[in-house]
Amino acid sequence: QQQVKQSPQSLIVQKGGIPIINCAYENTAFDYFPWYQQFPGKGPALLIAIRPDVSEKKEGRFTISFNKSAKQFSLHIMDSQPGDSATYFCAARRAGTYKYIFGTGTRLKVLA
Amino acid sequence: DTGVSQNPRHKITKRGQNVTFRCDPISEHNRLYWYRQTLGQGPEFLTYFQNEAQLEKSRLLSDRFSAERPKGSFSTLEIQRTEQGDSAMYLCASSLLNRDDYGYTFGSGTRLTVV
């Protein structure tokens, strides 16, 4: 069963735009929420992550916003570049475990 | 050794054949994971090792699947009597005990096609 719902499925933005990818979860026992970036033919690479006691985290051009009461979190990419074109996955980790539940992915295309 | 290495990168096999994949984790990482990713989906957890001990297996891992991590170093994933539904990308990842906030480091995966 899908416990992490990700949207949109695909996204096209102009260079310099701010794509936003959203995820919603159902299980309150999740304690860690990473975002992964995947290029074709490669494995996912950790981009940025947040814990539920923090409402926002920034690393470079990437920002996670976290709304614990709504059980939602989102990824914002500032000043997006064509090199950001990839598939992005949100994930959630069950507390006390080491496995992640991944969303279905968002295919982002940034036009030059 | 700068990353997780997986071999082969691609494997095409006939239905009913057995296949084996290898994963070499980052050398100091004592945790190793296998995930499966089908087209248009996120990775799904298969199994997890801490050193040489297999501590958890997903229900996705049927009796035809077996994973080992002898001596706590590299790991192998074997699929016996392959079926077309086994076609997927098999991802290996590793991490360091007590450093979970750094997340996993994934390999580039082995893409399996069963014909």
Q: How many CB pairs under 8 A join A and B?
A: 56
Is residue B93 within 8 Å of B63, Cβ to Cβ? no
Mean pLDDT of the residues in chain B:
92
| Closest Cβ opposite residue B100 in set A43, A91, A98 | A98
Nearest CA to A12 out of A65, A74, A60, A80 is that of A80
CB-based contact, A86 to chain B, within 8 Å: no
CA angle B63, B18, B46 (to 5 degrees): 45
Reported residue count of chain A is: 112
pLDDT in tens, B11-26: 999 999 999 999 999 9
Cβ-defined contact of B42 to A32 (cutoff 8 Å): no
Nearest CA to A74 out of A1, A16, A18 is that of A18
pLDDT in tens, B50-66: 999 999 899 888 899 99
Cβ-defined contact of B43 to A45 (cutoff 8 Å): no
Cβ-defined contact of B45 to A100 (cutoff 8 Å): yes
pLDDT over 70 at A2, yes or no: no
Please enumerate residues of B whose Cβ is less than 8 A from a Cβ of A.
4, 31, 33, 40-45, 48, 56, 91, 93, 95, 100-109
- Residue in chain B closest to A4 (alpha carbons) equals B42
pLDDT in tens, A89-110: 999 998 888 889 999 999 999 9
- B71 backbone dihedrals φ, ψ, rounded to 5°: 65, 15
Cβ-defined contact of A105 to B41 (cutoff 8 Å): yes
Cβ-defined contact of A104 to B42 (cutoff 8 Å): yes
Nearest CA to A91 out of B69, B37, B88 is that of B37
B76-92 residues labelled b (16+ CB within 10 A) or e (exposed): ebebeebeeebbbbbbb
Tens of pLDDT along chain B (115 residues) come to 579 999 999 999 999 999 999 999 998 888 999 999 998 899 999 999 999 999 989 988 889 999 999 988 999 999 999 999 999 999 999 988 665 566 789 999 999 999 9
Distance, CA of B4 to CA of B63 (rounded, Å): 26
The pLDDT, as a whole number, for residue B103 is: 75
- For tokens 């074997």, what's the residue? B78
Distance, CA of B14 to CA of B28 (rounded, Å): 36
